Structure 1
Amino acid sequence: MIFIIDSLNLREHEPLVKDMFRLRKRVFADRLGWDVRVSQGMERDRFDDLDPAHVISVDDEGRVVGCMRLLQTTGPHMLSDVFGAILDGEPPLRSATCWEATRFCVDTEVLTGGRASNSISYVTSEVMIGAFEFAMSAGVTDAVAVIDPVMDRVLKRSGNAPHGYLGTPKPMGKVTALAALMDCSEERVARIRAFSGIDHDVMQPHRVTA
């Protein structure tokens, strides 16, 4: 199940958000070895203080097993403030109808292979569906994400291929980074659903908004 958590319902779901930050720490700091800020067992950065929306996948046992962060591009965001070298001197993308998707991860220690609801493939698709459906409901038409070649291949295999790229790939630490563009559309969601076999509503039934 997908929970969308933002500034409107953050207090209602604070335990889930803390579990999400703990998952990010296990993935980005422990497993991938990124140079990220960790405090009290949680990975957070300055962009988490800018009222993003968090797309959080929760399994049947109430565990956070996947997540993604969505942030407006009209203000500070990672492509403009951290990965600007990718843009080759071009101004960063800034649009009220384009959001940046970052900090995507899944819990590979809990999830399995295959296509079952507790699989890496399923949760990856569920998070993508939730993110695109929420973005469309907010009037967003496009998303940009800084990804590596492995994630690029995952997107292409799952019916979620980028429709374009900004700038040129650049080495960032141990990997190459690309800025990928994706339309937020019913057609894209339908392709992800067809790949994953997810034909039900993935969203939390009653979203708390106040």
Structure 2
Amino acid sequence: MIIVIDGLNQDAFSDVLEDVFRLRKRVFHDRLGWEVTVTNGMEYDRFDALYPAHVVSLDDEGNVVGCMRLLQTTGPHMLSDVFSAILDGEPPIRSSTVWEATRFCVDMNRLKSGRGRNTISYVTSEVMIGAFEYGMAAGITDAVAVIDPVMDRVLKRGGNAPCGYLGTPKPMGKVTALAALMDVTPERVAAIRNYAGIHHDVFVDEDSLRKQRAMAA
């Protein structure tokens, strides 16, 4: 189930957001060895202070098992401020209808392989569905994401192939970085849903989630 945490409900779900940052620390710092800032067991950066939308996947017990960050390209974002070398000197996209998707990760300790619920594949697809459906409702027409070749293959295999790329691939640390473009359309969502077999509404009722987490606290 998906919840989107943005500037409107961030205070109400601050505990969920902290779990997102803890998952990001385990994935990006501990497992992948990225040079990221960790504070009190959580990974977050200056872009998290810009009130992005965090697309969060929760399991039936309310644990964070996947997440993605969406940020408008009209202001600072990672492609323009961190990975600009990919663009080969071209200016970054600046549009209120083009958002950047970053910090995608899943909890591989809680999830298993396969195609059913509580699997890496299912949660990956669920996060993508949530992100694109949220984007369509917000008037977003396209998304740009800095990804590596492994993620590029995951997207293509899951019915979510990029429709184009910006600039040229560049070595970034231990991996090669690509700037992928994806149109935010019902057709793309339908392709992801068909691949994953997800035909229900993926979004959780926020009031029910508040009650569930209050009871578990």
- TM-score, scaled relative to structure 1: 0.98
Residue number in structure 1 paired with 2:213 = none
What is the Cα deviation at residue 97 of structure 1?
Answer: 0.5
Structure 1 residue identity aligned to 2:136: M
Q: 1:39 to 1:161 in 2, by over 3 A?
A: same
Residue number in structure 1 paired with 2:135 = 135
1:160-199 paired onto structure 2 within 5 Å: 160-199=160-199
Residue number in structure 1 paired with 2:122 = 122
Deviations 1:90-114 (A, max 9, x none): 0011111000000000000110111
Residue number in structure 1 paired with 2:88 = 88
Task: Find the residue that maps to 1:19 and give its secondary structure.
Answer: helix
- For 1:7 and 1:163, the matched residues in 2 are separated by 30
Task: Find the residue that maps to 1:100 and give its secondary structure.
Answer: strand
Structure 1 residue identity aligned to 2:72: Q
- For 1:15 and 1:206, the matched residues in 2 are separated by 13
Deviations 1:14-63 (A, max 9, x none): 11000000000000000000000000000000000001000000000110
Residue number in structure 1 paired with 2:107 = 107
What is the Cα deviation at residue 206 of structure 1?
Answer: 4.0
Deviations 1:167-210 (A, max 9, x none): 000000000000000000000000000000000000123479xx
Residue number in structure 1 paired with 2:48 = 48
- For 1:11 and 1:95, the matched residues in 2 are separated by 27
- For 1:2 and 1:62, the matched residues in 2 are separated by 10
- For 2:11 and 2:83, the matched residues in 1 are separated by 31
- For 1:59 and 1:37, the matched residues in 2 are separated by 27
Identity %: 73
Structure 1 residue identity aligned to 2:10: L
- For 1:51 and 1:207, the matched residues in 2 are separated by 21
Is 199-208 or 93-102 further displaced after alignment?
Answer: 199-208
User: In the alignment, is residue 11 of structure 1 matched against residue 14 of structure 2?
Assistant: no
Task: Find the residue that maps to 2:12 and give its secondary structure.
Answer: helix
- For 2:31 and 2:69, the matched residues in 1 are separated by 19
CA contact (8 A) 2:146 2:179 kept: yes
Structure 1 residue identity aligned to 2:77: H
- TM-score, scaled relative to structure 2: 0.95
Count matched residues. 208
RMSD in angstroms over aligned alpha carbons? 1.0
- For 2:111 and 2:159, the matched residues in 1 are separated by 21
Residue number in structure 1 paired with 2:77 = 77
User: In the alignment, is residue 148 of structure 1 matched against residue 157 of structure 2?
Assistant: no
Structure 1 residue identity aligned to 2:186: E
CA contact (8 A) 2:2 2:127 kept: yes
1:32-43 paired onto structure 2 within 5 Å: 32-43=32-43
Runs of 4+ with >2 A deviation: 205-208
Structure 1 unaligned regions, length at least 5: none
Q: 1:112 to 1:44 in 2, by over 3 A?
A: same
Structure 2 unaligned regions, length at least 5: 209-217
Deviations 1:124-157 (A, max 9, x none): 0000000000000000000000000000000000
Residue number in structure 2 paired with 1:27 = 27
